[in-house]
Amino acid sequence: MKSFIWIPIALLIAACGRNEDGASVATTSAPQTTATAEATAGGAVQLSPTKGNTANGGLNVSAAGSGVKLSGMIQGLKPDSEFGFHFHEKGDCSAPDATSAGAHFNPTDHDHGNPQAQPHHAGDMLNVKSDAQGVAEVSIDNPEVSLQTGQPNDILGKALVVHAKPDDYQTQPSGDSGDRIACGVVAIQTN
């Protein structure tokens, strides 16, 4: 008699995963759907080396609270070193030295500084650090900028630049971070 009880239960469980025609139906939870929507609406930056340099990489840019999160990898860097890392005002990396990207992104007209203190440019971020192989794993939150908001602090279409030296967070107007060794423009990521 016990086996007769299990047969209807097994049939009920199997039916829950099918539509009216009997075809299997995939189900997803709300958090997975939300994560997919956020990834689709995110941005990306493909960093290319400037003339005579080898730094390159790819970064994802996503909304994080009122700011953005950058994550990804930069390679071709000098091993075991730090590099200035900033958003710049123009989305133009066409010059061989990336000077076409303009100055640091600074929609609020502040002095340059450490992003963990005030004042600083909206585009100022902590230095990226390379490992012994010349690779930097990037995971940076920037609460001063936005993505796809249309606000003055929106970085869509702005350049992201890697510099040859670490930012000292003091020297005006750019932290004495040296030449631009890689540049890329923030674009909408298409999947």
Residue 81: which CATH number? 2.60.40.200
Print the domain residue range for 120. 41-188
Catalytic (active site) residue 163: yes
Q: Taking 80 as the threshold, does the pLDDT of residue 17 lie above it?
A: no
Angstrom distance (rounded) from CA 66 to CA 191: 24
Residue among 71, 104, 100 at smallest CA distance from 86: 104
Catalytic (active site) residue 121: yes
Q: What is the pLDDT of residues 96-126, one digit of tens each?
A: 999 999 999 999 999 888 888 888 898 889 9
Domain count of the fold of the chain? 1
109, 121, 141, 154: the active-site residue: 121
Catalytic (active site) residue 110: no
Residue 51's pLDDT is 97
Q: Is residue 102 part of a domain?
A: yes
Residue 95 pLDDT level (bands cut at 50, 70, 90): very high
Residue among 149, 140, 137, 154 at smallest CA distance from 58: 137
pTM: predicted TM-score of the whole model, two decimal places: 0.76
18, 21, 80, 86: the active-site residue: 86
Catalytic (active site) residue 176: no
Catalytic (active site) residue 112: yes
Q: What is the pLDDT of residues 59-91, one digit of tens each?
A: 999 988 889 999 999 999 999 999 999 999 999
Q: Is residue 57 part of a domain?
A: yes
Q: What is the pLDDT of residues 146-188, one digit of tens each?
A: 999 899 999 999 999 999 999 999 999 988 999 999 999 999 8
Catalytic (active site) residue 120: no
Q: Is residue 183 part of a domain?
A: yes
Q: Is residue 117 part of a domain?
A: yes
92, 97, 124, 167: the active-site residue: 124
Residue 142 vs residue 174, higher pLDDT: 142
Q: Is residue 26 part of a domain?
A: no
Q: Is residue 9 part of a domain?
A: no
Q: Is residue 33 part of a domain?
A: no
Residues near 21 by Cβ (< 8 Å), separated by ≥ 6? Answer: none
The chain-wide mean pLDDT, for the chain, equals 82
